[in-house]
Structure 1
Amino acid sequence: MGQEPGTGFDDFVRGRAGALLRSAYLLTGDRHAAEDLLQDALERVYRRWSRIATSPEAYARRALVNGATNRWRLRRRRPEAPLIDAHDPADPDHAGRVALRAVVENALRELPARQRATVVLRYFDDLSEAEVASLLNCSVGTVKTHASRGLARLRTALGPTFDAPVSPSGRNS
């Protein structure tokens, strides 16, 4: 028969849970919802481990995106509370980083579901356009469109403070 579910699953979870939780958080905007979403995705991965053991991360990411999309469809949108970090006294600019992260997270929350998923998978998870297209079950052109529109909306929401660095020639790099 197939491989025992727990054999490589434990190693997969130990190695990839942190990155998958970050993706889930960026997709949901809420730490607790992200943990629930990841738990559901990992449960699906575990149940299908013998069939997906060759590419469990792709399956897990797809489960995260589908779960987040279903969450958006089923629930009315309500304001989400930002995640509050514990203060690290060794970090001199901790407040600045927390404030910056809150601004970026709020801007991400304002994106439509598909644009948000595309931006998170493409730029935070560093997946290729083809991988994102496969995960979202759409064409590469659609991924490019969602990414372009999502980034444009983020630039507008974040304002001039967060513009890309300007090269010495005066053009954006």
Structure 2
Amino acid sequence: MSLDEEYTAYVRGRLSWLRKIAYSLCQDWHRADDLVQTAITRLYVKWRQARVADDLDAYVRVILIRVFLAEQRRGWFSRVRLSSATSHQTLESGDRDMAMDIHRALTAVPPRQRATLVLRFHCDLSVEQTAHALGCSTGTVKSQTARGLATLRALLGEPESRLARAEEC
């Protein structure tokens, strides 16, 4: 199998997974598609070294997180926000109203904290894995997680027990 065929097969198999992570980061399906497109383009450029990585999914996840964080630093996003009138997300289970509230509140959490929360709770990574993905220390991950959860609690105005249940959604 050629390098291009390997790359295409990998991307085809992981595209849905990447979109879900990107959506969790930005809460907009169109923007999530843009993040994924940029990430898989960068992956293509680095495919020769990426394909031999110990954990290819972790390698790609790091690319996606870095694309998201780099976009947040640029001025364009702070000046222009495009959003669709309706959400295209379908919820499979759990309290739909609570999940929508959490998704809405998540957009108000600072980008680095949001990335930490998505990696820890959506991707179910350990503190060490999250630190590696973000290129920071485990202490930073712990503090960003605590601050992110505190921000969510404040935005939701909910007791900790309800937010803990929501983390399962």
For Structure 1 versus Structure 2, the TM-score category normalised by the shorter chain is 0.7 to 0.9
1:62 corresponds to which residue? 62
Q: 1:11 to 1:147 in 2, by over 3 A?
A: same
Total equivalences in the alignment: 158
1:84 pairs with 2:82: no
Q: Distance in 1 between matches of 2:70 and 2:46?
A: 20
- In structure 1, give the amino acid aligned to 2:151: R
Name the % identity: 35
Q: Distance in 2 between matches of 1:111 and 1:164?
A: 17
Following superposition, the deviation at residue 155 of structure 1 comes to 1.8
CA RMSD of aligned residues (A): 2.7
Q: TM-score, normalised by structure 2?
A: 0.80
Which runs of 4 or more aligned residues in structure 1 lie more than 6 Å from their structure 2 counterparts after TM superposition? none
Q: TM-score, normalised by structure 1?
A: 0.78
1:15 corresponds to which residue? 13
Structure 1: gaps of 5 or more residues? 166-173
Q: 1:14 to 1:87 in 2, by over 3 A?
A: closer
1:21-170 to structure 2, matched below 5 A, reads 21-53=19-51, 54=53, 55-74=55-74, 75=76, 76=78, 81=83, 83-85=86-88, 97=96, 99-160=97-158, 162-164=162-164
Q: 1:164 to 1:58 in 2, by over 3 A?
A: closer
Q: Is the 8 A contact 2:29 2:88 kept in 1?
A: no
Secondary structure of the equivalent of 1:100?
helix
- In structure 1, give the amino acid aligned to 2:37: Q
Q: Which has the higher contact order (CA 8 A, sep 6+)?
A: 2
Q: Is the 8 A contact 1:129 1:140 kept in 2?
A: yes
Following superposition, the deviation at residue 108 of structure 1 comes to 0.8
